[in-house]
Amino acid sequence: MTDILLVFGTDTGNTEEAAEKIQQAFSDEGHFVEIMDVNDCSVDRINDADILIFGCPTWDFGGIQEDWEAFQPELESADLEGKRVALFGLGDQFGYGDYFIDAVGWLHEIIHPKKAIIKGYWSTEGYDFTDSRALSECKTFLYGLAIDEDQQFEQSDERINAWVAQLLSEFQLEEAA
């Protein structure tokens, strides 16, 4: 069985709730995902996992959730070469449209140079924001799933389920049965 680890940081509980929904969507397809608060995570656990999913909210004007910020040295020391990784983030595209899910971009900037195999890039279609650190150069996709519980909460479940289906395909995971 593939060892899938989802690490999240949260202050309000929204990112944890999204993590649980992602875990459930994988479970519905026969895959177990261990979810872990970044405060409880270690470099060894990251190094041991086959697949990693990282979730981080963006605060105010592009701020990184403080537990993730404190974990940055450990993340930078992790051996991610060849490891399959996906990212998701929470943000408010209307209230903070210049910084929408910047935390995903921050994670991408740390992980990409470590030669991880990053999957789960997500289309910008259906969002209305000005800029994002998580926005690709071509401006057609984000470096991970964007969840906006402030402005588009009614779309979160559908987006999560579609993203998990995308990841199952990109990670080449068959139904576990």
Query: pLDDT by residue (tens digit) across 86-99?
Result: 999 999 998 898 89
Tell if the pTM clears 0.85, that is, is over it: yes
The pLDDT of residue 174:
65
Report d(CA 92, CA 74) in Å as an integer: 28
Q: Where are the domains of the chain?
A: 4-170
pLDDT over threshold 90, residue 78 = yes
The encoded tokens of residue 118 equal: 């990053």
Phi, psi of 151 (to 5 degrees): -110, -25
CATH code, residues 4-170: 3.40.50.360
pLDDT over threshold 80, residue 48 = yes
Whole-number percent of the chain with pLDDT over 90: 88
Tell the burial category of 170 from Cβ atoms under 10 Å away from its Cβ (0-12, 13-18, 19+). Answer: middle
The pLDDT of residue 90:
96
